[in-house]
Structure 1
Amino acid sequence: MFSPQTSKLAARRPLGMSALSLALFIAFAPAQAEKLTLLHVGDQESWLLSAQGNLRDNASQAISFYGGVDRLASVMANAQAQAEAAGRTVLKLNAGDAFLPGPRWNASKALLGTAHADGGQDFFDAIAMRHIGFHAAVFGNHEFDEGAATAARFAAVSGTTYLSSNLNFQSTPAFASLANAGRVAPYTMVSTSKGHQIALVGATTPLLPRISSPGPVSLLNHDPLQSEQQNLIRMTELVQQNVDAARAAGAKTVVLMSHLQNWNNERQIVIPRLQGVDVVVSGGGHELMADADDRLLPGDARALTGHPQLVKDRTGRDVAVVTSSFGNRYVGELNIEVDDSTGAIRAIEGSRLLRVSGNAADADRVQGDSFLKTSVIDPVKGYVDVLNSTRIGSSQVSLNGVRGSKGLPGSFEAGVRNSETNLGNLVADAMRFAGKADVAIQNGGGIRAGIAAGDVTVGDTFNVLPFTNLVRRAPSVDAGQLKQILEHSVATASAAGDVNGRFAQVSGLRVIYDTQRNAGSRVLKVTLDDGTVLIDNGVVVNGLRRFSLSTIDFTAAGGDGYPFAAAGVLFENAVDTITYQEALERFISSPLAQGGLGGLITAERYGTANPLDAAGRLVDVALAPIPEPGTYGMMALGLGLLGWLQRRRRTAHPAAAAAA
């Protein structure tokens, strides 16, 4: 077991250690040891061009000079060369979500349909992975966004072994074939330059069936009726079995590569139940884990100070946990030393988060890898430039598509996953328009970016709605069914802005709810746009009124846990449906006479939404006063609390108050 004190001291320094840390290392290290460097990335999500998304080295967007998979490859190559020159063995690890549907991903489908050496589909993201040469990757949720067949094909051409302890690789013939060839597996073994065996073990989020589209690919040790925490515990049993199997097969050091959506799942649930794991490379949560002296991208802020974080396993042994944000923006580097005979980590010699910069003013600027610049960046940029130049309208306001984040009640960051936003309203309106429905519901997790004021292009609609989700229509829904759906939407919401992808943006109705009440009894009043009250004081008051509802096929099929099936909602089996991206594009560009926006997103209709606005479509009475009569409990107390929150917000958070 390595000393936490020694590790934390050393972890603040890169390869060039001070005399003091070197003396401490000599005092604690064994005579025979081997030096390893782990270079890790995760959540690349098809951010191939830059950290901006669809622009590259564009003076109008400073962030476009950062990121880019070609520059990431250069950062990794430079770090690898430095480590190998110091006599270290280098492992390159990918923590999952290598791609994400959207305009950059669509470039592969448009341009690489027969481009692979076997005559089949290739992907720009896979070309980059092969060129970088990852030793292993773990299946994330986004690998399954376009179904099991695409996930298997991507794994087959990725040039690496894809890992997961809890995916059933016998679920489809394609996956079974990959498993037989060793291209997908629960774990894999790699050897160092001295013959030291290292096991890389994978774990995929148990939320996969809810947040992606794995189809026939099932999860092992998984019960859909149990909670995420319960299924994480069941998954951990499989991970432990594979850790034990790898050690029995000769592994002296074990690295768990996990994609569990939030590093707190590893910290609080998984690692405390494991033994025999030395390092965890975490993905899925986008956390920015960095030391105080690591350079960050403009506008970025550390979620966690200290790379790595140390977490005790069930034996009390320290496990080093690392993660590297998202979007090809950073490369994580962890330098460790292991005992030749036991494989135990004796010291963390150095650790850093390496920024990916192409900004000429930065000392850490790199030139992008020339092969990837030609084979990936240039063709993807050419494809996306066409989308970006195809104007469909303009917006008088900036449209809020951020995820949102938790904070103080009334002053949290409002986003599509915790509050009504103007972009959420726009997307929901587009869904209603496309489905020719009375009401529409769009899960916040399906909205992935905002839109700046000014020209709006086809590329913008792909950024906002990148998945291949199709519009689905239920022709006859009643108030009781709608209440079940809306209760699910706000079940995890809070006055502090807790974030969840299930949170629904709505069209055609107004919903008043109370996050101070227990989940399942939070929806107080629902009124259709024509004034019909369906629910009042939490009770269905108009059960006879039937109305049509549109949503996306992801939620209609139970994605994000939506209980459409349990509520008995029946959807049409339409053959002419369109994607939700196409729905947004058509809604913006269609003439006013046809129910569209005529190419203009106005401030009058889509002004900035505010969670403290009682006149909004989604109103939490824990935050906002209700100007109409009602019998909602503790209303007077709520009004007093609101006043206090507003006064505190204006004094303690003037910027947030101005933004609202």
Structure 2
Amino acid sequence: MKKKQLLTVLAAPVIAFSLFQADSASADTNFDTVNMNNTELMIEQKIMKKNGSIHNNAEITRNEVKKMLQRADEMKGLNAKDLFFTDSSNKGKGANPKEPITKIDMAKVFTLAMNDGEIPEVDLEVLNNFNDTDSIPEEAKPYAAYAVLAGAFDIGFEENFNPTEPLSREEVAKSFKPLVFDVIDILSTNDVHGNIEENPEYEQGGMALVGGIVEDFRSVNEEGTVVVDGGDTMQGTLISNSFDGLSTIETLNAIGYDAGSIGNHEFDWGIDVLKERMEDANYPILGANIFEEETGERPDWAQPYTIVEIGGYKVGIIGFATTETPETTLSTHVEGLEFPTPAPIAEELSAEMKAKGADIVMVTSHLPGWHEETTDEIMGELADLAASENGGLDALVGGHSHERVAGHINSIPVVEADRYTEAIGHIQLFVDRDSKEIYHSEVDMLETYSHLAGEAENVREIVDYYKDQVEEIKSEVVATTEGPITRDRKYGDLGVSQLGNMITDAMRERAGTDIAFQNSGGIRNNINSGEITYGEVFSVLPFDNYNVTSEMTGEQIKDILEGPAEDDWNFMQIQFSGMNVVYDPSQPDGERVSSIELWDGTPVYTKGEANDETFSVVTNNFLSTGSGDGYYTFGEVEWESDPDFQRELFADYLRDIRDRGETINPDEAFDGRLIQE
């Protein structure tokens, strides 16, 4: 929304890497305008004059911009004689009205028009995104910083601002959109996974920085900023897991989130703990597609949507879990629940909310998306929901896949913002003030490097409090490594990894079994060279998984190594110990493994024949259910549990190496256990 008062920006905003030009919007939308470019839109709004054909790249004069301001009724409080900077082309006698308008000129025009002629105080740190910050005149920097933050210009990280370059007609038209329309800024996080602290290696992320970014947007658009989360919020770090996610929820409370969705890992501590955290949250955590199998109804804790008041608009927010939840969390924690496809539910609920007066309907979800490598087309559940829509939704936020996704599908802006607070999603909706129709939308990705933004002090206090609580545990040195120990697979996308080998070795030694299996997705981070702390071990194995043991046949072991046939990407990604395996990835499903032999020489599978004996196996409780990552074969046997968490036994394994006075050579972790023919 426009701010008609003097504003103070408390913290510098992050960069906004604009991936896609605004091209559409949906639902309650003026469909005659959604595919217009900015120039055409301003002509349609009678702000620009057509003058024959439209030339988007034609330069536009200062005088033409003044006339546009008059047509937009935005000259209140402005002195036309002093509206533009004095330039050298007119020998110091004032800005020449017939000269093309430059970027710093337009920044001043925009800022003064947004604030009725007042000069706002702004943190200039945002301008550090540009390589040529020093070329911006000092008197122009407050205007440039404000215009960037308020959306007049896109930001290209480490690109040039080009302050004295003439703007094209299209660029001027874009900068007028926040003047002509109300702006709804949707800021989103997803897959925070308890990363409330900044990443010190990259000086990036953390919830205090996220809070600072939100403060920046609210400082220029207090009435029009919506903040949502896409799920998998709490599980994944020592500072969060040690308090069952309460520390993370408190940071989102302090920031003032409007809504969140239930991710698959929200169930990792069981439904009772999830319900406790939902009660602790000052915002609703939504799950519109969570139903009880027995009754066909939503459980009483699964709120489907909320409606929030944003600057005179009612914004309806639906929350969705991913349909993959039963396969990507401990199945016993979601037993008796169903997670159906969201599309028909979205249609029903959007109509219900509009009947209650919602002007805008959006989704925050844990639905995964990604850009297809060759075509850049957006894929996944997030894309499926957008493609199925027929005018019910205005914006979609996703999660789960840990990807950067930004674009438009079926005229709907969609975004997913990486993971671990490494980015923030940003959707802008431009809304007509009279009809409340959406005329345009844009999608950005906001970076979270610490030198580009300030922190929210209230959030920093919460983080520091919990950080002090876990520091002693986190800093214990359990071993030393001569180089990084990674989860990178031996054969590109396939095969075992250094960490996978070491973790499964630790599992097998602890359990005293012939064979160990570990899912690759359960190994969440690499280990840096040098001293290995318990905090690093936790980041590698953050989930509260534990060992389970049983007996399995040679045929079952081969089936697991082949991977789920319907999920070809899973083939030979499982990590293992205790056997040597020969495989050929060029062969069809079910025929890739040609030889399996225990390390003592006992054959498990040779030349198409499985050994009739059974073999002792250890895996984790996530895989043992048979639904984890689609490895159904694990569900064919009964398992006995070991109460110790996997990360604890791995930490003990590393401590033993330390106590022997040895250091780890990561190269030795790649042995001959897997051979690709």
Q: Name the TM-score, length of structure 1 as normaliser.
A: 0.71
SS in 2 for 1:550: strand
SS in 2 for 1:205: coil
> 2:47 maps to which residue?
none
Contact 2:368 2:382 in 1 (8 A): no
Instruction: Measure how far apart 1:146 and its partner are.
Output: 1.8
Choose the corresponding residue for 1:67, options 182, 201, 205: 205
Per-residue CA deviations over 1:590-630 (Å, capped at 9, x if unaligned) read 37xxxx98463543x75364xxxxx7323343xxxxxxxxx
Are residues 1:441 and 2:517 paired?
yes
User: How many Å separate the matches in 2 of 1:9 and 1:616?
Assistant: 64
User: How many Å separate the matches in 1 of 2:525 and 2:547?
Assistant: 19
SS in 1 for 2:398: strand
Are residues 1:562 and 2:631 paired?
yes
Are residues 1:239 and 2:343 paired?
no
Contact 2:193 2:233 in 1 (8 A): yes
User: How many Å separate the matches in 1 of 2:479 and 2:174?
Assistant: 62
> 2:453 maps to which residue?
365
Q: Which runs of 5+ in 2 are unaligned?
A: 1-30, 42-146, 154-166, 371-378
Contact 1:445 1:502 in 2 (8 A): no
User: How many Å separate the matches in 2 of 1:20 and 1:337?
Assistant: 19
Q: 1:215 to 1:152 in 2, by over 3 A?
A: farther
Instruction: Measure how far apart 1:29 and its partner are.
Output: 11
1:286 alignment partner AA: H
Contact 1:393 1:599 in 2 (8 A): no
> 2:18 maps to which residue?
none
2:603 alignment partner AA: V
Are residues 1:277 and 2:393 paired?
yes
Q: How many residues align?
A: 515
What aligned pairs does 1:280-295 form with structure 2 within 5 A after superposition? Answer: 280-289=396-405
What aligned pairs does 1:514-533 form with structure 2 within 5 A after superposition? Answer: 514-533=584-603
Contact 1:442 1:506 in 2 (8 A): yes
> 2:307 maps to which residue?
189
Instruction: Measure how far apart 1:243 and its partner are.
Output: 2.3
2:356 alignment partner AA: A
> 1:619 maps to which residue?
675
Contact 1:29 1:346 in 2 (8 A): no
> 2:526 maps to which residue?
450
Q: Which runs of 5+ in 1 are unaligned?
A: 53-60, 110-121, 179-183, 223-230, 290-307, 313-317, 405-409, 610-614, 622-660
Q: 1:606 to 1:477 in 2, by over 3 A?
A: farther
Q: 1:515 to 1:142 in 2, by over 3 A?
A: same
Are residues 1:154 and 2:270 paired?
no
Are residues 1:586 and 2:652 paired?
yes
Instruction: Measure how far apart 1:467 and its partner are.
Output: 0.9
State the Cα RMSD in Å.
3.3
User: How many Å separate the matches in 2 of 1:262 and 1:8?
Assistant: 31
Choose the corresponding residue for 1:355, options 434, 437, 447: 447
Per-residue CA deviations over 1:91-144 (Å, capped at 9, x if unaligned) read 1111111112331223425xxxxxxxxxxxx71101101111111101111211
What aligned pairs does 1:23-102 form with structure 2 within 5 A after superposition? Answer: 24=173, 34-52=182-200, 61=201, 63=202, 65-84=203-222, 89-102=224-237
Choose the corresponding residue for 1:256, options 352, 363, 378: 363
Are residues 1:464 and 2:540 paired?
yes
Instruction: Measure how far apart 1:155 and its partner are.
Output: 1.6
Q: 1:551 to 1:220 in 2, by over 3 A?
A: closer
Contact 2:414 2:443 in 1 (8 A): no
Are residues 1:429 and 2:508 paired?
no
Instruction: Measure how far apart 1:5 and its partner are.
Output: 4.8
Per-residue CA deviations over 1:240-288 (Å, capped at 9, x if unaligned) read 2222322333323211222123342146422211222111112222223
Are residues 1:395 and 2:481 paired?
yes
Are residues 1:104 and 2:239 paired?
yes
Instruction: Measure how far apart 1:210 and its partner are.
Output: 1.1
Instruction: Measure how far apart 1:421 and its partner are.
Output: 1.0
SS in 2 for 1:108: coil
User: How many Å separate the matches in 2 of 1:187 and 1:210?
Assistant: 25
Q: 1:530 to 1:26 in 2, by over 3 A?
A: closer
> 1:20 maps to which residue?
169
Q: 1:384 to 1:616 in 2, by over 3 A?
A: farther
User: How many Å separate the matches in 2 of 1:96 and 1:598?
Assistant: 43
User: How many Å separate the matches in 1 of 2:661 and 2:344?
Assistant: 54
> 1:635 maps to which residue?
none
> 1:181 maps to which residue?
none
Per-residue CA deviations over 1:72-93 (Å, capped at 9, x if unaligned) read 1111111211223xxx511111
Per-residue CA deviations over 1:400-425 (Å, capped at 9, x if unaligned) read 125x7xxxxx984x5xxx32111110
> 1:627 maps to which residue?
none
> 2:556 maps to which residue?
481
> 1:131 maps to which residue?
254
Q: 1:72 to 1:186 in 2, by over 3 A?
A: same
Instruction: Measure how far apart 1:585 and its partner are.
Output: 1.2
Q: 1:343 to 1:139 in 2, by over 3 A?
A: farther
Q: Name the TM-score, length of structure 2 as normaliser.
A: 0.69
Q: 1:571 to 1:26 in 2, by over 3 A?
A: closer
1:540 alignment partner AA: E
2:649 alignment partner AA: A
SS in 1 for 2:649: helix
Contact 2:327 2:630 in 1 (8 A): yes
Instruction: Measure how far apart 1:522 and its partner are.
Output: 2.5
> 1:336 maps to which residue?
429
